Chain A
Amino acid sequence: MNRKHHEPLIHLVKRVEASQKLAWSVRIAAFLISFFLCAVISSIMSGRGLDFFFSNFFKGVFGTERLIWNLFHDTAIMLLIALAVTPCFKMKFWNIGGEGQILMGALGCSVIVNSMAGSYPHASVIVLSLILSLAFGVAWAVIPAIFKAKWNTNETLLTLMMNYIAVCLVDYFIKKVASSGTGILNFSNKVGLIGPVGNEFILKIVVAVVVTLIMGIYLKYTKHGYELTVVGESVNTARYIGINTKKVIIRTLVLCGVLCGLIGFLLVSATDYGLNSDSTVGGKGFTGVLISWLGHFNPLGIALGSFVYSFFFRGATRVGTIGRLGGSFPDVLCGVFLFVLIASEFFINYQIKFRNGDKIREYFAPVVNAFAKLKKRPAVVAASENNSTESDGGEKDLQESIKDEILSEEVTAESVSEEAPKEVSDSAEEEEK
């Protein structure tokens, strides 16, 4: 039979080592594409022009000093949440229970504040509420870890269920102690809370920076970090080199629980001054999972990701408010934004090869070369062949950068088109001379 028939039209090749330049250009392109997509969507929805989106978006993010503080504050909270779940993901323990673990931390803090504030010294209430927050957070994280380690219980589903148990427990607690029935527990007198330190934002920003540094060191330079990475890569390898995988799983989830408890504590004691099962965490536990994944489980990447996400979310919220598009509109835009960013990861990790790639490239070669000619540079394809020795250093760099670009677009192996493009390139050279 004809061999070509068995070759699929498209096949994907994993890039052995994705170049940083390519990865970042894809990411930046994805960011710009999603940004413009959202601009178009909101201008259609609101019936106003594109400039409406852009002016309000940036006003909403950078308009006043307070808004800029808010941006960094949101980034810090998002960063903390994403960092908390990162060690689990690095270990391929799919903990999507960040939401519940943070909520339990918040509950722990509220329990102490509610029962002790006022009647005991301020400092002791804060210390005790921090301890109970951490304990609750750890409990909620370590239960799925124990079952995973012992009986290989599916951790994704178990942590998902525990999220909702946490929500119900918080609702129960609120209904129990606040008879008003609004579903919100309020500590607005701030007795027994940390309250604003400096300007109410700075504490969490400092904590986030410290945790980022510690997490970066923990994951990269400590034995613990190494062990959990090995468990994530392959459980069998880990066993073979003598890592106690059960211990590693439980230990990592304790760390996650401690961080989640801390976040819950900060949210109640230093941010919201209250507790509500709906808005205290408000889905950020799930978003943290996305950010952590988009940041490739690397603390610096996650920091960038949380900044970009908070930037986007705050701008979208402003556009939604001013354009009277309703409270859910930012979620719509963020959904679009995240879709594009997630899809872009594919183009970083994989090359697309077409069955008739050679033919297609031959077909487009004149266009590519004409384009190169337009830029008054020697054509790209032949560059590596003959004029690399002749051209000076600066031009060579340029050529290589163009080559990279075109390679990334066309995804070629170099083997193609020796003859036709060479001629064009020669003529281009002559013209330049």
Chain B
Amino acid sequence: MIATILKEAIHLGMVFLYGATGETIIEKSGHLNLGIPGIMCFGAMGGCFGANLAANANAGAFAVILSAIFFAMLAAGGMGLLYGIFTISLRCNQNVTGLVITTFGSGVLGYWSSKMGSEGITFYQSSLYFTKPMFGNVGSDWFSTIFLSHGTLVYVAIIIAVITALILRRTRTGLSLVAVGENPAAADAAGINVIKYKYISSIIGAAIAGVGGAFYYLDCTRGSIEPGVIEAMGWLAVALVIFSLWRPGIGIFGSIIFGLLYILPNYVTGIGFAEKEIMKIIPYAVTALVLIIISFFNKKETQPPASLGLPYFREER
């Protein structure tokens, strides 16, 4: 029982992990992208499209998954580029741009899913490639149930998070990115191409977050598109970034905790529907608490990037 719950928690938590890893990369460059829910919607559309494209061509499992990831990244990265153009080049307000992207993304997903539904296109067949356990049929002991019985994209999420963590902490590129988010003027003076870093991080971050949307619909819901849910999950992904203190490594465990909190109401028996609604508060409340606590202790290591949400224009510094 506990093993099943943990398995489900890890499974669902990866949606948050994709979103949070992407958002962390964007926030490290000093941009608070509130368009993550919309970007995940675009990723979901791209992923479903790519998966069906390859599945209908009778390509192998590997090609289907690769095609889904590619198109999810393409669609979401396109939105990331749009966000970059608006906030970096056109110097629009970051919050405003992000909120428009969220409205737009969820609108397009809603429209698209109703269109797909009316044309009778389903993604169930394609989703079989994603729900299939990566390591085949493993035993039913607790270890294999929790860790080895997932689809491919679960492991991809963890690998991406680990690589991101390593890049951010250990490489020159990562340190430069952190510098851009902390103090863009100083980074600029040190010879870092701030504009380039901001653009690349917002595209790559959006692309990674987009895979999360594709993963949710192709794996968690087995190909049935319910618009609206992914938007709520996108906001939780933004919350997870704070919860994980802007570290993808901690994000892996944070995402599992979020996944657990998300599914727990379904497993808890003996309480009413109303109390289950109260349980849904926990991830948000805990995140708010974390936010307050880190600002209270004001330790350097746990702060948001110093220039988060602030625009940087070379001429105006």
Which residues does A use to contact B, with CB under 8 Å? 12-14, 45, 94, 96, 147, 151-154, 156-158, 160-162, 164-165, 168-169, 171-172, 175-176, 181, 283, 286-287, 289-290, 293, 325-332, 334-336, 338-339, 342-343, 345-346, 349-350
Closest chain-A Cβ to B188's Cβ sits at a distance in Å of: 14
Is B169 part of the contact surface with A, judged by Cβ < 8 Å?
no
How far does the alpha carbon of A235 sit from the alpha carbon of B285 in the complex, in Å? 29
Closest chain-A Cβ to B113's Cβ sits at a distance in Å of: 8
Q: A151-B295, A331-B110 are in contact. Are A172 and B96 (CB under 8 A)?
A: no
A162 B281 Cβ-Cβ under 8 A: no
Partner of B103, one of A12, A156, A335, A349: A335
Majority secondary structure of chain A interface residues (helix, strand, loop or mixed): helix
Question: Which residues from B are CB-within-8-Å of A154?
Answer: 291, 295, 304, 308-309
Partner of A172, one of B93, B111, B278, B284: B278
**A-B pairs with the 7 shortest C-beta distances?**
A331-B107, A328-B110, A335-B104, A326-B114, A175-B274, A153-B295, A346-B90
Is B277 part of the contact surface with A, judged by Cβ < 8 Å?
yes
Closest residue of A by beta carbon distance from B82: A339
How far does the alpha carbon of A335 sit from the alpha carbon of B304 in the complex, in Å? 29
Is B45 part of the contact surface with A, judged by Cβ < 8 Å?
no
Question: Which residues from B are CB-within-8-Å of A283?
Answer: 103
How far does the alpha carbon of A398 sit from the alpha carbon of B284 in the complex, in Å? 60
Q: A96-B95, A153-B295, A161-B239 are in contact. Are A328 and B280 (CB under 8 A)?
A: no
Is B298 part of the contact surface with A, judged by Cβ < 8 Å?
yes
Is B315 part of the contact surface with A, judged by Cβ < 8 Å?
yes
Task: Number of B interface residues at 8 Å Cβ cutoff, please give it.
Answer: 55
Partner of B315, one of A12, A153, A290: A12
Majority secondary structure of chain B interface residues (helix, strand, loop or mixed): helix
Partner of B309, one of A147, A156, A172, A339: A156
How far does the alpha carbon of A14 sit from the alpha carbon of B314 in the complex, in Å? 12
A326 B115 Cβ-Cβ under 8 A: yes
A165 B288 Cβ-Cβ under 8 A: yes
B274 A172 Cβ-Cβ under 8 A: yes
Is B191 part of the contact surface with A, judged by Cβ < 8 Å?
no
Is B138 part of the contact surface with A, judged by Cβ < 8 Å?
no
**Sampled A-B contacts (18; CB under 8 Å):** A14-B316, A96-B95, A96-B99, A147-B295, A156-B309, A161-B291, A164-B235, A181-B273, A283-B103, A289-B95, A290-B99, A326-B110, A327-B114, A328-B110, A331-B103, A331-B110, A334-B107, A345-B92
Closest chain-B Cβ to A333's Cβ sits at a distance in Å of: 8
Partner of B295, one of A152, A287, A329: A152
Which among A14, A154, A176, A289 has the greatest number of chain B C-beta atoms within 10 A? Answer: A154
A331 B274 Cβ-Cβ under 8 A: no
Closest residue of A by beta carbon distance from B272: A175
Which among A12, A153, A328 has the greatest number of chain B C-beta atoms within 10 A? Answer: A328
B32 A350 Cβ-Cβ under 8 A: no
Closest chain-A Cβ to B279's Cβ sits at a distance in Å of: 9
Partner of A162, one of B32, B82, B288: B288
Partner of A293, one of B90, B96, B232, B274: B96
Q: A168-B284, A328-B110, A329-B107 are in contact. Are A160 and B235 (CB under 8 A)?
A: yes
Question: Which residues from A are CB-within-8-Å of B315?
Answer: 12-14
A175 B106 Cβ-Cβ under 8 A: no
Name 5 extra pairs, CB < 8 A, besides A326-B111, A327-B110, A328-B114: A14-B316, A165-B285, A168-B280, A293-B96, A331-B106
B91 A350 Cβ-Cβ under 8 A: yes
Which among B92, B107, B108, B285 has the greatest number of chain A C-beta atoms within 10 A? Answer: B107
Question: Which residues from A are CB-within-8-Å of B109?
Answer: 328
Partner of B99, one of A161, A181, A289: A289
Closest residue of B by beta carbon distance from A181: B273
Per the 8 Å Cβ criterion, residues 70-110 of B in contact with A are 82, 86, 90-93, 95-97, 99-110
